[in-house]
Amino acid sequence: MPHHKSCIKRLRQAEKNRIRNNTTRTELKKTLKDARDKVSGKEAIDLKQAYSKIDKVCSKGIIHKKKASRLKSRMAKANAKLAAASN
């Protein structure tokens, strides 16, 4: 247990941030899962909502910008593949 005032405050802040980050990360996972389910159900999706969520999480520093880019790229690739198969 910390003894300095500043350390006690940092401990409180870290706990609040951990809870907030976990919540945001869970929301991102849910969004990605919904998008994957639609693609696997042979349904082309609008990537705007998923891209927006990924960008928000990235801008808050919860995920790395290269991970965000990779996620968006994979979603676009899967969506394009599905669109090409349906035509």
pLDDT digit string (tens) for 2-32?
899 999 999 999 999 999 999 999 999 999 9
Residues 69-78 have a mean pLDDT of 93
Question: How many residues can be counted in the chain?
Answer: 87
Check which CATH number belongs to the domain holding 38 and give it.
1.20.58.110
Domain containing 39: what range?
A: 5-86
Burial per residue of 26-59, b for 16 or more beta-carbon CB atoms within 10 angstroms, e otherwise: eebeebbeebeebbeeeeebeeeebbebbeebbe
Q: What is the pTM of this model?
A: 0.80
Residues 28-47 have a mean pLDDT of 82
Number of domains in the chain: 1
Q: Which residues contact 42 (CB under 8 A, 6 or more apart)?
A: 82, 86
